[in-house]
């Protein structure tokens, strides 16, 4: 596939600078050096070949800014890194938001952090930051925001429109699971448009990463996504390990798989409780939390914390697991299997629930590449895209599991996919426990002060919400030169305006609930 | 002493004394019912959700509602800016009066009834449809978008569900040949109407749940959509009045169901009022059970359910009942 794409690009787009990269080392297959003149053609080319915009970020190399686009495919993996060099002062780049809708948010993000202007962007305002920021935070040298531009950078203010009924769902609203704000324009009970407004939980983890060593940053990823803390912990640790070439012992890899899958179940259970609560059924919440509590107990024993785990270390784990962990996990698997039949009766078999969830919030399979959705969200449309299968990490290539997919991509499918995924996770845990080898749980001779070689790497893991990727640029110092987090909820949420438009407000809220968004993850 | 009583009776008449006593009794029932139901709701929900529920205040947490009431009374009454003050203040008061009046005609026992009016059921229906007015006032007066949507939903819902409610009762009225609640109870000496009119019972109970704005029909206060619906801006004792009215409404709907379909106060051995309250609270429990099991229906589903299913079914039921009685 990679060779075919390479040939196609060479023949279709003349005069383009394209190279093959070492996937084993870099995490991407191809690199393309784009120019301002041909970036739109390149994006259009990838769009036409069912590539999705995986990530888009910017790196400040002081002499120039480099905008990095990652394109990838759901079927037959082929990750392409497209770079676009632009001048550091008065930097202007063409927008690709007409081709990839998701780029609207990515470009706003690059704009507020680096001061890059995107020509033709429909709404180039701040996404996360508030109006009072006087410099671009991710630039290496302090670059002030021009005075005359400051006024233009105000956040989204829809209330100025006349003759429209606006409702603010959030930032304090029961259905937004945190501090997401959705500005909904309504006509009676119907939603005319819904615009998410982000940034209420923005903590600038990407900047924090640049200011501390790799080891010091260890606790941070857990705060980016609190229900799926271990995935983010793993994404950070594994990226650095791969860049430094640290070998991880097999036992550690197995334990990573087991704990990650436990965390996935815990995260899905949290969602399983919250989704019916969005539909008005409050009891499943308590039942799901009852089960989730068991996982938290198990994980507390080995990691020392109940929510924001910091368990993985460079080259292994914080500590080894004992027999009690194995026994407890086995008991839990037995217990949860019994409980599934109860959820079946309580939720899946409930006629009101089915009527509410079926046929609402339908995501068309053809639309997903525009947004770059991942995780259960994209699997519900029938695309079996799972990083665990596509580019196996830890020991996912040594266990037997399937990727559950839906058919229509409605709320019910998203529910069923997540339920099936929990069962699949139980299967993975069972296999991993039987295969668990003995041996060391930590690599020897991992230096205390990590100084990865110069270069960049993209590494992704499958978190409970989708593809969690880290794009790491190292300059051989003990702190990252740039650490970019690609988070799944961010690109999943982008579909919300399209899915909510024209539906009843109750359906829009059910749809929002089915996303399983985690706001700290979106805002970072 | 006797002379004094005779004198008072001579001045005001038996009827007035009976009414005063009745009003006091109704007040006691209303308040006690609300206290019991707040406790019951918390306990029932707790046990359905595998929790314990309140247990600290008093035995089994029985005094918890009293502690809550004291808290609510002691709270400062906040008035948000820009509310329509007369409407905002009036709504919690108005919500309470109609439900009180409904109690007057309910026969708790053969002799325990404030007043047996020969159009008793009309009184109840007339006054219970007034409560939607206060919800509308609250929603409009609060100057809050969530409140407004909630109250508008409530009006549409009440209009839609009052019709099947009425039609279901009519088929019973046809059979009992009376609008007086006491006559209807007496007519069930042999067989309860739930067995003769099972469809009317189901329609009435479903419509009743919708009338009281309880799950799965709690759209006016749908907390995941509208925060708290029409009472979003109310706090303290004003909120408590809405709360009290809601629980009283539940009681009334269950009491009417008991009267019309479950033989009212009739039952062997035990005194009538125990049978009455037992049956009523059994139905109340069912409503609480609904709340903690079902999700909420969507607005269009709610209206479709009434207009496309409940109304035709109850209408058909009424026609068949009339036809059979005529034969």
Substitution target in A283, A345, A415, A509 with the highest count of B β-carbons within 10 Å is A283
Better-predicted residue by pLDDT, A155 or A399 = A399
Read off the pLDDT band of A160 (50, 70, 90): low
Q: Which of A166, A279, A285 lies at the smallest CB-CB distance from B296?
A: A279
Residue B277 has pLDDT above 60, yes or no: yes
Interface of B with A (CB under 8 A): 45, 48-51, 145-146, 149, 153, 215-216, 218, 222-225, 227, 292-301
pLDDT (mean) for A226-244: 88
The two structure tokens encoding residue A195: 């615009």
Q: In sequence order, what E strands does A95-245 have? A: 117-119, 165-169, 181-187, 190-197
Whether the predicted pLDDT of A402 surpasses 70: yes
CA-CA distances (angstroms) from residue A405 to A264, A363, A384, A415, B308?
17, 13, 6, 11, 36
Cα(B152)–Cα(B132) distance, rounded to whole angstroms?
10
Q: How far is CA B155 from CA A50, B102, B122, B215, B285, in A?
A: 49, 20, 20, 17, 26
Residue of A nearest to B146 (CA): A167
Helix, strand, coil in percent for chain B, rounding step 5: 75, 0, 25
CATH architecture of the domain formed by A2-153: 2-Layer Sandwich (3.30)
**pLDDT reading at B121 higher than 80:** yes
Q: Do A281 and B295 touch (CB under 8 A)?
A: yes
Residue A1: the pLDDT is: 67
Q: What is the pLDDT of residues B183-234, one digit of tens each?
A: 888 888 878 888 888 888 899 999 888 888 887 888 777 777 777 778 888 8
For A467, the enclosing helix (H) or strand (E) is strand A466-474
Q: What's the pLDDT tens digit per position in A307-359?
A: 888 888 888 888 888 888 888 888 999 988 888 888 888 888 888 888 888 88
pLDDT of the residue at A148: 67
ipTM: 0.81
- Give, to the nearest 10 degrees, the angle between helix A2-12 and helix A39-48: 130
Domain residue spans in chain A? 2-153, 205-485
For A163-209, the pLDDT digits (tens) are 678 888 878 777 777 788 888 888 878 888 888 888 888 888 888 88
Closest chain A residue by Cα to residue B150: A189
**How many alpha carbons lie under 13 Å from residue A448 in its C-beta half-sphere?**
0
> Percent of chain A at pLDDT above 70?
96
Greatest alpha-carbon pair distance for chain A in Å reads 69
How far the first Cα of chain A sits from its last, in Å, is 34
**Mind listing the pLDDT tens digit for each residue in A71-126?**
888 888 888 888 888 888 878 888 888 888 888 888 888 888 888 888 888 877 78
Distance CA A79, CA A22 (A): 11
pLDDT above 90: percentage of residues in chain B = 1
**Per-residue pLDDT band at A395 (split at 50, 70, 90):** confident
Token code pair at residue B265: 């106060």
Q: Residue range A459-469: average pLDDT?
A: 89
Q: Closest to A283 (Cβ–Cβ): which among B153, B293, B297?
A: B293
How many other β-carbons are positioned within 10 Å of the β-carbon of residue A213? 16
**Rounded to two decimals, what is the model's pTM?**
0.86
CA–CA distance, A354 with A1 (Å, rounded to integer):
41
Place of tokens 């550690």: A252
Q: Give the gap in angstroms from C-alpha B161 to the nearest C-alpha of chain A.
A: 18
Q: Give me the total of CB pairs closer than 8 Å, taking one residue from chain A and one from chain B.
A: 81
Residue of B nearest to A185 (CA): B145
User: Do B246 and B32 meet the contact criterion of CB atoms below 8 Å apart?
Assistant: no
Task: Note the pLDDT of residue A150.
Answer: 65
Confidence of residue A151 (pLDDT cuts 50, 70, 90): low
Average pLDDT of the segment spanning A158-166:
68
Considering only CB atoms, A286 lies closest to which of B50, B225, B300, namely B50
Does the structure show a pLDDT above 70 at A50?
A: yes
Q: What share of chain A is helix, strand, coil (3-state, %, to 5)?
A: 45, 20, 40
Helices B236-261 and B272-291: angle between axes, nearest 10 degrees: 120
Residue carrying the six token digits 């969602």: A271
Residues of A whose CB is below 8 A from B300: 189, 504
pLDDT on residue B178: 84
A443 touches chain B (CB under 8 A): no
φ, ψ of residue A466 in degrees (nearest 5): 145, -155
Instruction: Give the pair of three-digit tokens for residue B25.
Output: 């009794």
pLDDT value, residue A168: 81
A179 lies within 8 A of chain B by CB: no
Alpha carbon separation from A219 to A208, A215, A311, A450, A457 (Å, rounded):
11, 9, 9, 16, 21
Taking only the tens place, the pLDDT of each residue in B147-189 is 888 888 888 888 888 888 888 888 888 888 888 888 888 888 8
Which residue of B46, B221, B298 is the best one to mutate when testing the A interface, meaning the one whose CB has the most A CBs within 10 A?
B298
The string of pLDDT tens digits covering residues A478-505 is 888 888 888 888 888 888 888 888 888 8
- In percent, the amount of chain A with pLDDT more than 90 equals 1
What's the CA gap between B234 and B261, in Å, rounded?
37
- For A205-485, the fitting CATH number among 1.10.645.10, 1.10.357.10, 3.40.710.10, 3.30.70.2860 is 1.10.645.10
The pLDDT tens digits of the residues spanning A210-219 come to 888 888 888 8
Of the candidates A71, A69, A67, the residue with the CA atom closest to the CA atom of residue A52: A71
- Confidence tier at B93 by pLDDT (50, 70, 90): confident
């Amino acid at each position: 596939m990679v060779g075919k794409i390479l040939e196609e690009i060479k023949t279709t787009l003349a005069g383009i600078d394209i190279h093959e990269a070492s996937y084993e080392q870099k995490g991407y297959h191809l690199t393309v050096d784009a120019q301002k003149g041909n970036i739109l053609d390149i994006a259009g080319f990838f769009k036409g070949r069912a590539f999705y915009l995986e990530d888009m970020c910017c790196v400040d190399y002081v002499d120039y800014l480099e905008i990095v686009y990652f394109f990838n495919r759901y079927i037959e993996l082929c990750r392409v890194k497209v770079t676009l060099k632009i001048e550091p002062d008065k930097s202007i780049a063409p927008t690709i938001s007409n081709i990839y809708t998701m780029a609207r948010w990515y470009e706003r993000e690059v704009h507020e952090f680096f001061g890059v202007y995107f020509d033709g962007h429909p709404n180039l305002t701040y996404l996360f930051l508030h109006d009072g920021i006087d410099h671009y935070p991710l630039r290496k040298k302090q670059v002030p925001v021009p005075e005359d531009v400051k006024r233009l950078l105000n956040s989204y203010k829809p209330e100025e429109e006349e003759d429209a009924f606006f409702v603010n769902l959030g930032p304090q609203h029961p259905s937004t699971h945190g501090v997401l704000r959705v500005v909904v324009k309504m006509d009676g009970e119907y939603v005319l448009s819904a615009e998410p407004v982000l940034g209420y939980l923005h903590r600038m983890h990407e900047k924090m990463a640049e200011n501390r060593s790799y080891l010091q940053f260890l606790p941070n990823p857990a705060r980016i996504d609190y229900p799926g803390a271990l995935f983010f912990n793993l994404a950070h640790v594994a990226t650095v390990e791969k860049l430094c070439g640290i070998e991880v012992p097999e036992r550690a890899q197995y334990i990573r798989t087991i704990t990650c899958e436990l965390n996935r179940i815990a995260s899905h259970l949290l969602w399983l409780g919250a989704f019916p609560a969005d539909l008005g059924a409050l009891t499943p919440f308590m039942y799901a939390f009852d089960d989730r509590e068991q996982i938290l107990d198990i994980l507390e024993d080995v990691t020392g914390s109940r929510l924001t785990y910091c368990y993985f270390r460079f080259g292994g784990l914080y500590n080894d697991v004992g027999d009690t962990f194995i026994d407890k996990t086995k008991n839990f698997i037995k217990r949860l299997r019994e409980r599934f039949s109860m959820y079946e009766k309580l939720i899946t078999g409930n006629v009101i629930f089915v009527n509410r969830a079926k046929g609402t919030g339908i995501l068309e399979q053809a639309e997903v590449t525009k947004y770059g959705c991942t995780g259960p969200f994209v699997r519900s449309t029938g695309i079996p895209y799972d990083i665990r299968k596509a580019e196996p990490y830890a020991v996912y290539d040594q266990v037997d599991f399937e990727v559950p997919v839906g058919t229509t991509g409605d709320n019910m499918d998203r529910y069923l996919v997540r339920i099936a995924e929990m069962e699949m996770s139980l299967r993975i845990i069972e296999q991993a426990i039987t295969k668990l080898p003995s041996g060391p749980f930590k690599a020897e001779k991992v230096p205390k002060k990590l100084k990865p070689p110069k270069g960049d790497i993209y590494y992704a893991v499958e978190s409970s919400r989708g593809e969690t990727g880290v794009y790491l640029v190292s300059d051989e110092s003990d702190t990252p030169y740039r650490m970019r987090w690609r988070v799944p909820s961010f690109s999943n949420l982008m579909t919300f305006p399209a899915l909510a438009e024209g539906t009843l407000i109750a359906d829009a809220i059910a749809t929002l609930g089915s996303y399983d968004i985690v706001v700290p993850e979106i805002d970072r | 002493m006797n002379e004094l009583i005779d004198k008072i009776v001579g001045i005001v008449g038996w009827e007035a004394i009976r009414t005063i006593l009745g009003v006091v009794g109704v007040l006691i029932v209303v308040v006690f019912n609300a206290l019991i139901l707040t406790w019951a709701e918390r306990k029932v929900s707790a046990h359905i959700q595998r929790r314990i529920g309140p247990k600290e205040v008093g035995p089994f947490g029985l005094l918890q509602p009293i502690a809550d009431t004291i808290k609510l009374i002691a709270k400062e009454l906040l008035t948000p800016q820009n509310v329509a003050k007369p409407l905002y203040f009036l709504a919690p008061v108005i919500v309470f009066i109609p439900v009180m009046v409904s109690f007057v005609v309910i026969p708790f026992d053969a002799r325990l009834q404030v007043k047996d009016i020969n159009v008793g059921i009309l009184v109840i229906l007339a006054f219970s449809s007034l409560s939607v007015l206060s919800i509308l006032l609250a929603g409009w007066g609060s100057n809050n978008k969530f409140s407004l949507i909630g109250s508008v939903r409530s009006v549409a819902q009440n209009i839609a569900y009052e019709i099947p409610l009425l039609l279901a009762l009519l088929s019973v009225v046809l059979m009992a040949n009376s609008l007086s609640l006491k006559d209807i109870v007496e007519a069930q000496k042999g067989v309860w109407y739930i067995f003769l009119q099972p469809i009317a019972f189901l329609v009435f109970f479903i419509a009743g749940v919708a009338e009281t704005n309880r799950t799965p029909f709690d759209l006016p206060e749908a907390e995941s959509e509208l925060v708290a619906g029409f009472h979003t801006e109310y706090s303290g004792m004003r909120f408590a009045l809405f709360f009290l009215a809601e629980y009283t409404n539940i009681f009334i709907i269950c009491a009417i169901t008991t009267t019309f379909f479950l033989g009212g106060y009739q039952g062997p051995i035990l005194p009538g009022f125990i049978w009455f309250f037992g049956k009523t609270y059994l139905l109340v429990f069912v409503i609480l059970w609904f709340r903690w099991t079902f999700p909420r229906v969507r607005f269009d589903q709610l209206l479709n359910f009434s207009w496309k299913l409940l109304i035709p079914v109850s209408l058909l039921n009424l026609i068949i009942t009339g036809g059979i009685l005529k034969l």
